[in-house]
Amino acid sequence: MAYKALRSVRGLPTGRDATRMMQKMGMDVKEIANVKQVVIKTADKQIVIDDPTVTTITMQGQTMFQIAGGTVKEEAPKEVEEAPSITENDVKLVAEQAGVSPEEAKRALVESGGDLAQAILALKAKGS
């Protein structure tokens, strides 16, 4: 009886046999060493997995990542407010159009979130 159970389980390749079969199918499996954390960000949450085992599986030009184990926790996404990118040309343009110094123009651009038209209008309204 135990022999029949062993035979039915033996049908599934494990270890070296599984690796050889995957190589024959064109699959390349590699483990990524020393992974500390994996973060998956969605629109309304982020999933943080500490100390996982991460494996890459490449097959037919596609790479898949398999994440196993580790401690899983869900968090609200961390909002990082980006400072608007303000170029020197923007500062010069606003300063010329509003008739103010470059320092005032830059301050107005930062306050308007980088919006040139809004910065010029705000400076002209202050000057009137």
| Distance (Å, whole) CA 52 – CA 31 | 11
| Strand arrangement of the beta sheet that strand 37-41 belongs to | 37-41, 46-50, 71-75
What is residue 28's predicted lDDT score, i.e. its pLDDT?
A: 84
Answer yes or no: is 13 within a domain: no
Q: CA torsion angle for 42, 48, 52, 53 (degrees, to 10)?
A: 10
Residue 111 has pLDDT above 80, yes or no: yes
Answer yes or no: is 9 within a domain: no
pLDDT digits (tens, 9 = 90+) for 31-51: 899 999 999 988 888 999 999
Answer yes or no: is 82 within a domain: no
Are 68 and 97 found together in one domain?
no
Are 25 and 62 found together in one domain?
yes
What number is the average pLDDT over the span 3-18?
Answer: 60
What number is the average pLDDT over the span 80-109?
Answer: 84
Query: Which residue range(s) make up the domain with 108?
Result: 88-127
Are 70 and 29 found together in one domain?
yes
Answer yes or no: is 2 within a domain: no
CB 103 within 8 A of CB 88: no
Answer yes or no: is 6 within a domain: no
| Distance (Å, whole) CA 72 – CA 50 | 7
Are 69 and 32 found together in one domain?
yes
pLDDT level of residue 85 (50, 70, 90 thresholds)? confident
Are 27 and 56 found together in one domain?
yes
Are 28 and 67 found together in one domain?
yes
What is the DSSP code string of 62-119? EEEEEEESSEEEEEPPPP-PPPPP--HHHHHHHHHHHT--HHHHHHHHHHTTT-HHHH
Backbone angles phi, psi at 57, to 5 degrees: -125, 115
What is residue 49's predicted lDDT score, i.e. its pLDDT?
A: 92
